[in-house]
Chains A and B, each alone.
Chain A
Amino acid sequence: MTPKMTVPAPARILIVAGLCLSALVGLVIREGAARADGVEVRLPMEAIDPRSLLSGHYVIVTIQERLAAGASCPPGASAAWDPERRWVAIAREEAAAGSGLALPRGRVLGVATTRAAAEALLGARDGVRVGGVVAGGVSCDAEAPADDVGRAMRVELGVDRFHASQTEALRIEAVLSDRAVGGDGAQVWAVVSLGRDGRARLRGLEVEGERIDLSWL
C-alpha cells in the first residue's frame, strides 16, 4: 500500500497565506491597470469631509451639478433616487479654449436599462466613440425650480469617497463650503476614469485648478 501524501499543516497555512497575499496584490494591479486604461473626464462635485476612527480622513464624493436654466433632465434619469443600477452614458467634451481647464469635462447624455441602449445614446463622432458607458444611476429634479436656476442633477457612479490627508481634506472642505452647487463654475471636480469594463473609478480630484492624483506614492 502506498503511503498517503499529505501536506503538513504549517506548510498548508503558508500556501493559503501566499494565495491570500497574491489575491490582494492582484486586485491592486488589476484595478490600477483598469483605471489607467479608462476614458478620463472631469465631473463637478459636492463634498463633505468626514472622519472615522478606522478609515482616517476622506472626502465624500457626490457628483452633482446644477443644469443650465431651462435645460431638461437627461433621458432615463429618475425623479427620485432609485437604488436600481442602470447604465449611464457620459460624453467627453473638450474644455473650451481659454477656460484654463486642461481636462475634458464629462457630460451625462442619458441613462438606460441595458448597456447596449446606453452605448446607442453615446453614439460616435467621426466614427470614434467619445466618452464611456458605466454602471450607475442619475436622479434629476422633475419640476423646474420656480426661480431662474436650473434643475439639480445627481450622478451615482459607485465613486463615493476620496481618502486624503487631514490637511487636504480640510482644504477641500473649505473650498466646497465657499461655493454653490456645482456646474461649469465648480472649483472642485472629481476626475473619473470611465472603464471599458463598465465601471467608473476615481483617479483623483481637481481643487481650484490643482490636481490631487491617486498614486502609489
Chain B
Amino acid sequence: MSRYKRRLERDLDRWVADGLVPAASKSLILERVTDQPRFDAATALAIIGVVFLGAAIIAFTAANWDGIPRIVRFLLLLSAFAAAAGGAAYALHSKRILTSDALLTLAAAIFAASIGLTGQVFDIAGDPRAALIGAAVGATALGLAGRSIGAVTAGIVFAGLSDVTDTFGAGLDAIPPTVLLFAAIGAVCAVRWRSAVLYHVVSIGGLAGLLLWILRAEPSAAWFMVLAMIAGIVAAAARAGKEGKDPNLSIVYGWMVWGALFFFMLGGFGWSGEAALPGLLHRIIWLGAGAGVIALGRHDGHALVTAGGVLAVFGAMAALLMDLGLDLISASLVFGVGSLIALGVGLWLRRRARAST
C-alpha cells in the first residue's frame, strides 16, 4: 500500500469517527486510490545492488585474466546479459514491475558493455559512435519490449553519448544528433506510460540534442534566439496543457523554461563574430526575463521554473557586471531601474490580489 493510501486510510478512520464521512464510503474511497509500485528505500537499495552487480560482471570480464580464455569471457558476457533479460521477463510475468524494470536496465547496460568488451576480447577495431548507437538501439528495444522506463532512459543516454563522442565528425553537420530520434521515441513512451521520469529525461535530451545540432552546424546568435523562442512557445503550450489531461506536462513546462533562458543566454554572445542583440540590451532583457520567470514560477507554484529564473537573474547580473567592468555608475543605474520595476510590479500584483479577495 502506498504511503498516501495509508495516510488516507488513517484520515478516513478519523473522519468516520467524527461523522464527516459515512462508514460505508471508506472502502469505496480507498478502492478509487490506485496502488502505484512503491519506490522505497529497499527498492532503491535493490536497484543500487543490481547496478553494482552489473559493474562487477563487466570489471571481472574486462580484467583480462590470463586464466580465462577469450571464448569463456565472451560466453560469460552473453550469459550475464541473458540472465538479466531472462530475470526481467520472469519478474514481469510475476507482476514485479519495479524488479523487471531494474533488471531490464541492467540488461541494457550489460549489452552496451558487451559491445565494447566483445571488441576488446577479440580486438575488433570499430567506430565508437556506431558501438554506442548499437547500445542505444538495444536498450530502447528492451525498454519497448518490457515497458522499462530505465532501459528507454539508458537508450537516450547512450544516444547522447554517441553524439558527444564524435560531435564534429566529418559530414555530421548535415544530420540531426541521434539523441533527438531516441528522445522522440522516449516522448511517445512518456505519454503512453504516463512516466514522470521519462518526461524529465526526454525534455533534457531534446534540449541537449537541439544544442548539439546548432553547435555542429553553423552556430550563430540568431539561431540561438530562434531556439529560445521555440523553447518558449513549447513551454507556454505545456503550461496551458498541464491543467488538462496530462499533469506531467508541468515537467516539460519547467525544462523548456530552462531551455529558453539558456538559449537566450547563448544568443547574447558573438557566435561567428556577431551577436543578435547589442550587449547591454541583451543583458537587460535577460535580467527582466529572469525576474519575470521567478514571478511566474511563484505564481504557478513550480519550483523548477522559479529555480530557472533565479539562475537567469544571477547569470545576467554577472554578465552585466563583466560587460560594464569598472563602470559602477552604469551598473548602479541598471540595477536601480531594475529594482524599481520589480518593486512596482510586485506592489501592483499584491494590490490586484487584495482587490480580488
Contacts and interface: CB of A to CB of B under 8 A. Distances in A.
Interface of A: 8-17, 19-21, 23-25, 27-28, 31-32, 53-58, 84-85, 158-167, 199-202, 214-217
Per CB-CB distance, the 7 closest pairs between chain A and chain B, nearest first, are A56-B64, A17-B85, A12-B145, A10-B89, A165-B66, A13-B89, A16-B145
Given A165-B64, A214-B122, A10 B90 contact: yes
B225 interface: no
29 contacts: A8-B93, A10-B90, A10-B146, A12-B145, A13-B88, A13-B89, A15-B145, A16-B142, A16-B144, A17-B89, A17-B107, A17-B142, A20-B141, A23-B138, A24-B77, A24-B114, A27-B124, A28-B118, A28-B124, A32-B122, A53-B59, A55-B62, A163-B64, A163-B121, A166-B66, A201-B123, A216-B69, A216-B70, A217-B71
A120 B134 CA distance: 35
B104 A217 contact: no
B141 A21 contact: no
Contacts of A53: 59
Interface string B56-99: 00110011111001110010011001100110111011000000
A68 B123 CA distance: 31
B115 A24 contact: yes
Contacts of B144: 16
Contacts of A201: 123-125
Given A10-B89, A10-B90, A21-B81, A163 B111 contact: no
A20 B141 CA distance: 9
Nearest to B134: A23
Contacts of A57: 64
A82 B71 CA distance: 37
Contacts of A54: 58-59, 62
Contacts of A10: 89-90, 92-93, 146
B145 A28 contact: no
Contacts of A84: 170
A172 to B, nearest CB: 14
Contacts of B69: 216-217
A24 B78 contact: yes
Given A14-B85, A163-B123, 19 more contacts: A10-B89, A13-B89, A13-B145, A15-B145, A17-B86, A20-B142, A24-B114, A24-B115, A53-B59, A55-B64, A56-B63, A159-B125, A160-B125, A161-B123, A163-B64, A163-B121, A166-B66, A214-B123, A216-B69
B147 interface: yes
Contact of B125 (A58, A200, A215): A200
B2 interface: no
A17 B83 CA distance: 10
B125 A158 contact: yes
B92 A9 contact: yes
B165 interface: no
A214 B69 CA distance: 11
Most buried by A among B64, B118, B121: B64
B104 to A, nearest CB: 7
B71 A202 contact: no
A159 B125 CA distance: 6
B120 interface: yes
Nearest to A157: B125
A84 B62 CA distance: 31
Given A24-B115, A54-B62, A214-B123, A16 B141 contact: yes
A159 B93 CA distance: 45
Given A14-B85, A158-B125, A24 B62 contact: no
